[in-house]
Amino acid sequence: MSMATLRRAARESVSGLPREFWWLWTSTLVNRLGGFVATFMALYLTLDRGYSATYAGLVAALHGLGGVISSLGAGVMTDRLGRRPTMLIAQLSTALSVALLGFMEHPVAIAAVAFLVGAASNASRPAVQAMMADLVPPEDRLRAFSLNYWAINLGFAVSSAGAGFLAEYSYRAGFLAEAAMTLACAVLIFVKVPESRPEQAPATAGKETAEPEVGLGTVLRDGRFMGVVGLSFLISLIFQQGYVGLPVAMGADGFTSADFGAAIAVNGVLIVALQIPLTRYIERRDPRALLIVSALLAGYGFGLTAFAGSIAVYALTVCVWTVGEMINAPTQTGLVVRLSPVHGRGRYQGVYTMSWSVAALVAPLMSGWVIDRFGAPWLWGTCAVLGTVAALGYWLLMRALPEDDAPVTEVVTGEIAAARAPTEGEKVTAA
């Protein structure tokens, strides 16, 4: 492939998206570049502070519990207060709580502040995803979500490497560095990212009242959407095993932490290298087939781990399930937007985000229990079963999904309308 072809492909991958999206994308990248604490938290508690692995696990669980709770609250805030205020509150709270965590000494104080960090750091996700749906036309959303996912993984890869250097110098420096980067993200949002929340459609002739407000009860009663949330939980439960089940299984097979690091690094390298070109390949393809294939790749990618006996084979299995991850993440997020009413996007995104947070809590318990009681091969077999169930669930759920939802005109706030000049005939439609 010539350089001209590569340049053209890169241009097509990033062209046509609103300027406001790129500022939001930049804020995501800045945020993830500063994600040091999650990488070295367990080492900080066990090696630097001398606490037990059980206590470190408790702190991690409380951090995850904070994320579960904040997902719903942040979803409501996103719809009520707006996307931008919710992101600013979340980022400022994260910066403050992370900095505070670095100075905590008592184990109860550390656990309590870790809970606050988990809640604050997870609170911006529903707002970010809702704002992307507001800003980007439906036909470009898969590409936009893929680019955002790419930024998350690029930032994580860089911050993971940086965390090692900071930890050698000072763990507290890592807490303060993350707080500073998160504060920079908040400043960027405040200066460059306008509000995008659609206004409620006014009453029109033949329609006496405006659209009813969407509550959490509305989301929970939406059977089709909650089916997607359930499938998201299964998929996330599978992918979490790459970080909770895989290192335990490799350690039991006599591999070192460096061996695990080499195998799991394949995940980040593939996503950074292939997410954008893969998105160009799947962008116009049937989301039904993509979700089914991604579930099978995830389940059987981990299932193949039962036959791994060398680092090379472990790395090969990581390649298989990583492709499933790259297909599933943007496609499923796009489906969530499509099923969400315009004025309830925050709440819908909050419930969807909660499915990943709950899976992050359940996955360590699941992997530990299955490995201790039955052995690692049973864990990988369970992943294959879960992937098959998820694929069947996507097939059943998507059969009744119409090809295109009827467009619904949004009334956009003046701030974002003034920030972008619409093209002739442009309409802002619901997913």
pLDDT tens readout for residues 186-215: 999 999 988 888 876 554 444 444 555 677
How many structural domains are present in the chain? Answer: 2
Residue 25 inside a domain? The answer is: yes
Q: Is the domain of 111 the same as that of 235?
A: no
Are 182 and 282 part of one and the same domain? no
DSSP 187-234: HHHHHH----PEEPPPPBTTB-SPPPPP-HHHHHH-HHHHHHHHHHHH
Say whether both 273 and 311 belong to one domain: yes
Is residue 167 located within the same domain as residue 247?
A: no
Q: What is the pTM of this model?
A: 0.77
Same domain, 137 and 250: no
Question: Rounded to the nearest 5°, which phi and psi values hold at 427?
Answer: -130, 140
Rounding to the nearest 10 degrees, give the CA dihedral for residues 208, 213, 87, 164.
Answer: -150
375: left (phi over 0), alpha (psi -120 to 50) or beta: left
Query: Is 14's pLDDT higher than 80?
Result: no
Q: Using one digit for the tens of pLDDT, what is the confidence trace for 20-79?
A: 899 999 998 888 887 777 767 777 887 788 888 778 878 888 888 888 888 888 888 998
Identify the residue whose tokens are 């299955």: 370
Tell the residue number behind the tokens 């009744």, with chain if given: 400
Residues 248 and 389 in one domain: yes
Is 134 within a domain?
yes
- 233 and 133 both lie in a single domain: no
- Distance (Å, whole) CA 69 – CA 350: 10
**305 and 390 fall within a common domain:** yes
Asked if the structure places residue 27 within a domain, the reply is: yes
The domain in which residue 345 lies consists of 216-400
Q: What six digits make up the tokens of 31?
A: 């945020």
Question: Quick check: helix, strand or coil at residue 411?
Answer: strand
Residues 362 and 417 in one domain: no
Report if residue 211 sits inside a domain: no
pLDDT in tens, 64-92: 888 888 888 888 899 889 999 999 999 99
Residues 32 and 181 in one domain: yes
For residue 425, how far is the Cα from the chain centroid?
Answer: 33
What are residue 411's phi and psi, to 5 degrees? -100, 110
Asked if residue 65 is part of any domain, the answer here is yes
User: Where residue 375 sits, what CATH number does that domain have?
Assistant: 1.20.1250.20
251 and 394 share a domain?
Answer: yes
pLDDT band at 413 (very low <50, low <70, confident <90, very high): very low
For residues 279 and 253, membership in a common domain is answered with yes
